[in-house]
Amino acid sequence: MKSTLLTDLATELLQMPDKIANIQMELLAINEKQQYVFAEVEAEELKLKMEIADATDDNGKKLFSNEDSRKAAFSIRKAKEPALQELMTSEKELQNAVQLKRIELEKANHTQRNVRSILAFFSSGIVDSPEFE
């Protein structure tokens, strides 16, 4: 039984580098998507800010003449813009996915260290000594 356990642990240890690499590649892909969506959000927000800054009434007078009124108009329009809301939701989901992948990666790294320690312990011969029983 001990032999099977050690064989299973050794097999798991040999597979861990590939598992960790796969998680890292998945994390990289999610990060790239997140950066792309972040850039889209920034572009949409900038477009809204420019529209607000350029908005004039029928006489050509600026509708939002001070910073506070521009900020308020931006907040209102941002909340009402479905495309921007969708992008922001997507960005938040990707942020969560990144965090979950980082947790998965950390768990895999801990597992690798633990399996390595267990195998080192069993290979040390301490387990076979009469004091261990």
Domain assignment of residue 105, given as a range: 39-112
DSSP string, 28-48: HHHHHHHHHHHHHHHHHHHHH
Residue 85 belongs to a domain? yes
- Entry pTM: 0.77
**Domain count within the chain:** 1
Written as one letter, the residue type at 15 is: Q
Residue 84 is assigned to a structural domain of this protein: yes
Instruction: Note whether residue 63 is domain-resident.
Output: yes
Residue 8 falls inside a structural domain:
no
Q: How many CB atoms lie within 10 A of CB 37?
A: 20
Q: What is the pLDDT along the chain (133 residues), one digit of tens a residue?
A: 667 888 899 999 999 999 999 999 999 999 999 999 999 999 999 999 999 999 999 898 999 989 999 999 999 999 999 999 999 999 999 999 999 999 999 999 999 999 999 989 888 776 555 554 5
* Domain-located, residue 24: no
Q: Is there a contact between 20 and 110 (Cβ–Cβ < 8 Å)?
A: no
Residue 69 lies in a domain: yes
